[in-house]
Amino acid sequence: MDQQNPQPTDAENRVCSRCGTVAEGTPPTWTCSVENGTRHYYCESCARENIRAIEGRLDSDWW
Ligand SMILES: [Zn+2]
């Protein structure tokens, strides 16, 4: 059994939750959004379009 690390490694590929773009590791330009306890990653272009929605959601749901 190889279950030493409970967290996924950084070498894991990221898939954009919006457009499906795949990247190696986690590019610094990508945005990670935690929604309902699940991490979602968005590529650079999607993050730009999504940042308002993410912030808007935080504003409306967190406060
Ligand atoms: Zn994308």
> What is the per-residue pLDDT across 23-39, written as a single tens digit (0 to 9) for each?
988 889 998 888 889 98
For residue 1, the CA-to-ligand 1 centroid distance in Å is: 34
* Residue 26 within any structural domain of the chain: yes
pLDDT at position 45: 92
For residue 18, the CA-to-ligand 1 centroid distance in Å is: 5
Around ion ligand 1, which residues have CB less than 5 A away? 16, 18-19, 21, 43, 46
Q: Which residue segment(s) compose the domain that 18 sits in?
A: 14-62
* Residue 1 within any structural domain of the chain: no
Domain tally for the chain? 1
* Residue 32 within any structural domain of the chain: yes
For residue 22, the CA-to-ligand 1 centroid distance in Å is: 9
For residue 42, the CA-to-ligand 1 centroid distance in Å is: 5
pLDDT at position 43: 94
* Residue 42 within any structural domain of the chain: yes
* Residue 8 within any structural domain of the chain: no
Half-sphere exposure of 35 (CA within 13 A, CB side): 13
Distances (CA, A) of 12 to 7, 23, 53, 59: 11, 9, 26, 31
Q: Record the pTM.
A: 0.61
